[in-house]
Structure 1
Amino acid sequence: MTAPDIDSLADLVRTTARETLLPRFCSVRCEWKADGSAITEADLACDQALRDALATRWPGIGLLSEEMPEAERAALLDQPGNRFWVIDPLDGTNNYANGIPFFCTSVALVEGDRIVLGVVYDPVRDECFAAAAGAGARLNGGPLQPARETPSLNKALLLCNPDRLAPELRRRLLDPEPPYGSLRNFGALALEWCWTALGRGHVYFHARQNLWDYAAGWLVLNESGGRATQFDGQPLPARAANPCTALASRSPALHEALRRHLGLPGRQPQADR
């Protein structure tokens, strides 16, 4: 068996998402899981198709999915040094179910305590963001280049869902005279990571990030030269059992500027991933 590589993984994710998500777009009914999050038949179909495709192409690698029982996820994360896929078959389920064309499929590979491969695919725009640790980030096979020059913080577009923030932090962020230019909440966390890496958004500020929300997108942003930490300055872990926070930007200067404005702790040393 050959080791997973970024080109083969990108092709697999693109094919699976196009075949399972696009035909059902605008035609599925949204239901609700016990934790209050949305789910559709498309989530389940894409989840199963990804499981089957990954197991066939690279057998023997574990798999952690948003759609699997919590006890199974915990058992997988409790195995130190193992290798496993992290998948979110449909990130942006609410958008998808309501006909809003902003959703994606996200797949990452974790080896030990490192995220080593990541793919985020947007089937509506046919944009495939991909990254391999130490090898840079790509968009549709070519180098990922920012869409435009990075602005100063007072003109920056902040990607954030304020409802997920603690009340005091939300109050500071939504100051009547905020330090950023404007705020957007697009509703698909992994894709927002990639849009930040590309420069379509300038600062990414989100709480309650599960591993499948950030694993692939974090790698894309990191390999594009960006900076990402949790709100306390710690790095985002590759094996998170509990939700994390994320402050990220393609521009380390913007990351630092918002951190200082909000009074968040400074960046802590990061081990190599």
Structure 2
Amino acid sequence: MIDDFLDGSLPAVEEAVRKAAAAEIMPRWRQLATHEIVEKSGPHDLVTVADRLAEAHLTVSLTALLPGSVVVGEESVHADPAVYAALRGDAPVWIVDPVDGTRQFVRGEPGFCTLVALAVRGEVLASWTFAPALDEMAVAVRGRGARLNGTAIRAGSPARGAVLKVAMSHPDYTTPEEKAALLCLDTEGVEARPCGSAGLEYLAVARGALDAVAFSWEYAWDHAAGLLLVEEAGGAHATLAGVPFRVTGANVLPFTAARDQATATRIRTLLTAP
């Protein structure tokens, strides 16, 4: 059933993502009122009316496209943490981050995106990364490659001897152990900076504009779409335990995704230095 769906419904999913952004996100970009922005766990964890309405829009449209599927979205899990368990169930799961890069969205910057991935029993089969303010749509299907605005993309490998450019979790928002690991990236041959929208950082890796990411949190909605995109563009990812990241959780953090296996291995080796 899933193979048939992937064979025939990819354009419909892309259209659903575009419609949700057009209806609920873009009309509110640079138009948000103060009361439409709420702190969840703190000033660095924001939600807006656009996040909530876009996720509701996608929940209706995506489950209609694939009867029997369910949605695990950032806002639905915030309302009911038990929803997250669906990632380990048998039903097809849409993993949704309606506005990834909410801080950028709130500031009126274009660096935000909508992330959608389709997974079955913990395996991500397809993903959509849509940056509406940039008019960029990246689609990846397991075993079929990655495309950006319809054109195939490859991550390639960094130039021999080049300084590796890495986007990472901000050390101030991590545990002491994770902070120590991330600070090991402050070394010769690596240029690390705090990340922006995780989805757009993954896209940068997939298109070869960024060499790697190093993240210390594992919410599936932030990573599922981007990890498949990087994989299908020829990249690789690994947790501190040396195994690929699992969207179902229980990963040893931090983890990295990179343009190629050699770069992923190098970044992981640095992260294990503490």
Common fold: TM-score over 0.5: yes
Aligned to 1:102: 111
Aligned to 2:70: 62
Aligned partners of 2:157 and 2:259 also within 8 Å:
no
Structure 1 unmatched ranges of 5 or more: 266-273
Task: Kindly indicate whether residue 130 of structure 2 is the aligned counterpart of residue 121 of structure 1.
Answer: yes
Aligned to 2:10: 6
CA displacement at 1:48 relative to structure 2: 1.1
Q: Using structure 1 for the length normalisation, give the TM-score.
A: 0.85
2:46 to 31, 38, 44: 38
Aligned partners of 2:185 and 2:192 also within 8 Å:
no
Q: Using structure 2 for the length normalisation, give the TM-score.
A: 0.85
CA displacement at 1:244 relative to structure 2: 5.7
Amino acid at match of 1:25: W
Aligned to 1:23: 27
Identity of aligned residues (%): 28
Aligned to 2:209: 200
**1:96 and 1:258 mapped to 2: Cα distance?**
30
Structure 2 unmatched ranges of 5 or more: none
Amino acid at match of 2:263: L
Task: Report the CA distance shift for 1:152/1:168 in structure 2 as closer, same or farther (over 3 A).
Answer: farther
Aligned partners of 2:214 and 2:257 also within 8 Å:
yes
Aligned to 1:51: 59
Aligned partners of 1:179 and 1:261 also within 8 Å:
no
CA displacement at 1:164 relative to structure 2: 3.9
CA displacement at 1:49 relative to structure 2: 1.1
CA RMSD after TM alignment: 2.7
Task: Report the CA distance shift for 1:169/1:179 in structure 2 as closer, same or farther (over 3 A).
Answer: farther
Task: Report the CA distance shift for 1:232/1:241 in structure 2 as closer, same or farther (over 3 A).
Answer: closer
Task: Report the CA distance shift for 1:243/1:92 in structure 2 as closer, same or farther (over 3 A).
Answer: farther
CA displacement at 1:78 relative to structure 2: 4.9
**2:185 and 2:157 mapped to 1: Cα distance?**
27
Aligned to 1:72: 82
Aligned partners of 1:12 and 1:53 also within 8 Å:
yes
Amino acid at match of 1:52: V
Amino acid at match of 2:19: T
CA displacement at 1:62 relative to structure 2: 0.9
CA displacement at 1:231 relative to structure 2: 1.9
**2:271 and 2:38 mapped to 1: Cα distance?**
37
**2:174 and 2:105 mapped to 1: Cα distance?**
24
Aligned partners of 2:157 and 2:260 also within 8 Å:
no
Q: How many residues align?
A: 263
CA displacement at 1:170 relative to structure 2: 3.3
**2:185 and 2:263 mapped to 1: Cα distance?**
20
Secondary structure class of the residue paired with 2:216 = strand
Aligned to 1:255: 264
Amino acid at match of 2:99: L
Aligned partners of 1:152 and 1:254 also within 8 Å:
no
Aligned partners of 1:209 and 1:243 also within 8 Å:
no
Deviations 1:148-168 (A, max 9, x none): 862347512111123344435
Amino acid at match of 1:77: L
Secondary structure class of the residue paired with 1:21 = helix
Secondary structure class of the residue paired with 2:234 = coil
Secondary structure class of the residue paired with 1:208 = coil
**2:272 and 2:82 mapped to 1: Cα distance?**
38
Task: Report the CA distance shift for 1:118/1:227 in structure 2 as closer, same or farther (over 3 A).
Answer: same
CA displacement at 1:108 relative to structure 2: 0.5
